[in-house]
Structure 1
Amino acid sequence: MARTPRLIAAASGGGHWIQLLRLRDAFQGFDTAFVSMFDSYRPMVEGHRYYTVPDASRFDLKGFLPVFWRALKIVARERPRAIVTTGSAPMLSFILLGRLTGARTLWIDSIANSERMSSSGRLARKLAHRTISQWPEVAAAEGVDCWGSVL
């Protein structure tokens, strides 16, 4: 008997997390584990596995080492078939590890990036199986798809 495919849904805090939560219906049919940065978010996804990762900034590359190490442990434990993230930069670790482990990966650039793709999104475009923008004009300029907005 085939087990339900696993999915990691990851986002940093604030608007990235809210956008990810609005996608929950799309995760039907998957055994979903959620990842974010704050333990206080755990009750929002009750009934699902929940993990935290530390924050990191693109301005402090050393900060990515603890994020990557934690992401490696999570991906090894979950063995996801797919990884979906609404960003931000620390979630690039999940995209990279997903590629390395054979999981399908999707980066959804934040709705806040209405004039150009985020710097993390531009990097994700090179790593993820699919990168999308929530703005048609940005998608056209960046050469990615637009599937609409999460709002």
Structure 2
Amino acid sequence: MKVLAIASAGGHWIQLLRLMPAFEQHEIIFASTRQSFSETVSSYKFYAVPDANRWNKFKLIYMGAAISRLVLAVKPDIVVTTGAAPGLMGLLAGKLFGAKTIWVDSIANVEKLSLSGRLALLFADRTYTQWEGLATPKVHYHGNVLS
């Protein structure tokens, strides 16, 4: 199986890296918003993607197009993300091109899912929280990736 693991910088990236053991039997391709992160996954393919947020719609459109091109080129079987906007766009593109999609909401979201996580619920095949109190029939809890 080919896994595209995508996340924005900071805590999202760190949490994504903590998920690596779950996919070690598969081909993993990483994508993030900082080219320098390629050094942290030097034995894997890595792609830099544009960053954007909900406050700049034009950048969101540009980012969505770039990530869609990446998903189309990589042809992953699974797209997994810990957020935020680049991960959400990766899930949407993955879903459109036939990949299974997994959203893992950030451990920082203690009281409710992130906005991106709530949007991911609309189309992700699986959505996970890292807080047991946020689990629902649609949001799964199996522990956290930062302990």
Gaps of 5+ in 2: none
Q: Which residue of 1 aligns with 2:111?
A: 115
* Match of residue 145, structure 1, among 130, 140, 144: 140
**Runs of 5+ unmatched residues, structure 1:** none
- With normalisation by structure 1, the TM-score equals 0.92
| Matched residue, 2:8 | 12
> 1:50 offset after TM fit, Å?
0.4
Shift of 1:130: 0.7
Q: How many residues align?
A: 146
Q: Match of 1:129, as an amino acid?
A: D
**Aligned match of 1:30:** 26
Instruction: Report the 3-state secondary structure (helix = DSSP H, G, I; strand = E; otherwise coil) of the residue aligned with 2:121.
Output: helix
Report SS of the residue matched to 1:86: strand
CA RMSD of aligned residues (A): 1.2
TM-score (norm 2): 0.95
Residue of 18, 35, 38 corresponding to 1:42: 38
SS in 2 for 1:97: helix
Q: Which amino acid in structure 2 is aligned with residue 74 of structure 1?
A: L
| Cα deviation digits, residues 67-125 of structure 1 (max 9, x gap) | 11111121111100001000002221111111111110000000000111001100001
Letter of the structure 2 residue corresponding to residue 93 of structure 1: M
Q: Secondary structure at the match of 1:126?
A: coil
* Aligned match for 2:89, one of 84, 90, 93: 93
Q: CA deviation at 1:139?
A: 1.9
For 2:59 and 2:119, the matched residues in 1 are separated by: 17
Alignment partners' CA distance in 2, 1:48 and 1:118? 29
Which residue in 2 is equivalent to 1:132?
A: 128
